[in-house]
Amino acid sequence: MTTLEVLDAVKNGLWTGLEWAQGSWSKIPELARSLLSAAIGVLFGAWIASRTQNKRLIVAELHALRGAHALTFAIINKALSIKRQHLRPMKMAFDTAANYIANPQGPGAVQLDLRDLSQIRFPTDALEKLLLEKCFLGSEAVATLVAVMDATDDLTTSIRYRNEQVIDFKKNPPATHQQKIERYFGLPAANGERDERIKSNIGALLEHANDCIFFGRRLSDHILKSENRLRRRNFWKYWLPGRKLKPADWGRAEADNLLPPDAGYANWVSGFIKDRSAIERLWDSFKGHIHWARRL
């Protein structure tokens, strides 16, 4: 049977079906045809309205995810900036001076770093509103958002506490240089008391900045996956504006050794069970059937 014969057969079948439909439609009473036409129109209109509403919700979530991704990027950059410009040099200078005081070798003078730090405003309120009100995220992503908000609050609180300690140190300085060193480095005083507030604060500042960077990057990954997954599931249904999100490039920060190691947060990450993909579930099911077949 040639191709032309197949096309003719298909065309004849379509014409036959159309003639049958027209004959059947003409046999239906006028009232029934009116009601049926109205029902079809209502159903089609409802489907169009539902499709339009779904697309509007999907596009709104895509815009929210894109905005949240940008806000997360801003949070990470602010934490990287203060760590590079102030916190890491301050901690390195403190450790170097503390090591010299513990093991003095050769002549040297211990300098006290009494710089104050500019307060940082993180856009966490806008980030929280976007993600919790306009996006659907998993439990781990929500927990990561909470961790980001806690880390930024801790960092701003530590900066405020640092500035208060510096002001108090300048207004009420110890009487001698040795007493200044003891207070700044948390060394035991002559009466046996030890004031470690400044020492503990310097370490806490760097830890809180690392928390902002780590949890911010992890939240950025969750947002990226959610946006790409939402776009992948609906691109064939609707025309979606924009392009899919791309991961941020942290190569320069990594080269400057500004990114905290993931090993330090292994306990936090291990508390979440990774969702298995469909292929992984099918593979586990297949292995289970093989196991039972061998036992028979």
Q: What is the pLDDT of residue 186?
A: 87
- Segment 282-286 shows an average pLDDT of 68
Name the 3-class secondary structure at 296: coil
Does the pLDDT at position 295 exceed 70?
no
Q: How far is CA 95 from CA 55, 190, 292, in A?
A: 56, 22, 61
- pLDDT classification of 294: cutoffs 50, 70, 90: low
Mean of the pLDDT values across residues 32-36?
61
| Count of positions (residues) in the chain | 296
| Burial environment of residue 267 by CB neighbours within 10 A (0 to 12, 13 to 18, 19 or more) | exposed
What per-residue confidence (pLDDT) applies to 218?
94
Domains of the chain by residue range: 41-103+114-273
| pLDDT at residue number 177 | 84
pLDDT for residue 61: 86
Q: Is the pTM of this model over 0.85?
A: no
* Tokens read off for 161: 């506490």
Q: How far apart are CA 50 and CA 141, in angstroms?
A: 29
User: Phi-psi category of 261—alpha, beta or left, where left has phi over 0 and alpha has psi -120 to 50?
Assistant: beta
Whether residue 34 has pLDDT greater than 80:
no
The encoded tokens of residue 124 equal 């966490």
- Say how far apart CA 272 and CA 183 lie, in whole Å: 42
Concatenated DSSP letters of 40-74: HHHHHHHHHHHHHHHHHHHHHHHHHHHHHHHHHHH
> How confident is the model at residue 153, as a pLDDT?
96
Please state, as a whole number, how many other Cβ atoms lie within 10 Å of the Cβ of residue 200: 13
- Find residue 188's DSSP bridge partners: 194
What is the spatial distance between Cα 259 and Cα 213, in angstroms, rounded to a whole number?
7
**pLDDT of 25 higher than 60:** no
DSSP-derived letter for residue 173 is -
pLDDT higher at 295 or 122? 122
User: What's the pLDDT tens digit per position in 215-268?
Assistant: 999 999 999 999 988 888 887 776 777 778 888 899 999 999 999 998 989 888
- Residue 1 banded pLDDT, cuts 50, 70, 90: low
According to DSSP, residue 172 is labeled S
Give me 152's structure tokens: 């930024």
- Alpha-carbon distance 281 to 287, whole Å? 10
* Residue at token pair 């010299």: 100
Residue 7 has pLDDT above 80, yes or no: no
pLDDT digits over 95-117, tens only? 888 888 877 776 666 788 888 89
pLDDT in tens, 141-186: 999 999 999 999 999 999 999 999 999 988 988 888 888 888 888 8
Buried b / exposed e over 94-124, threshold 16 CB at 10 Å, is beebbeeeeeeeeeeeeebeeeebeebebbb
Q: How far apart are CA 42 and CA 25, in angstroms?
A: 19
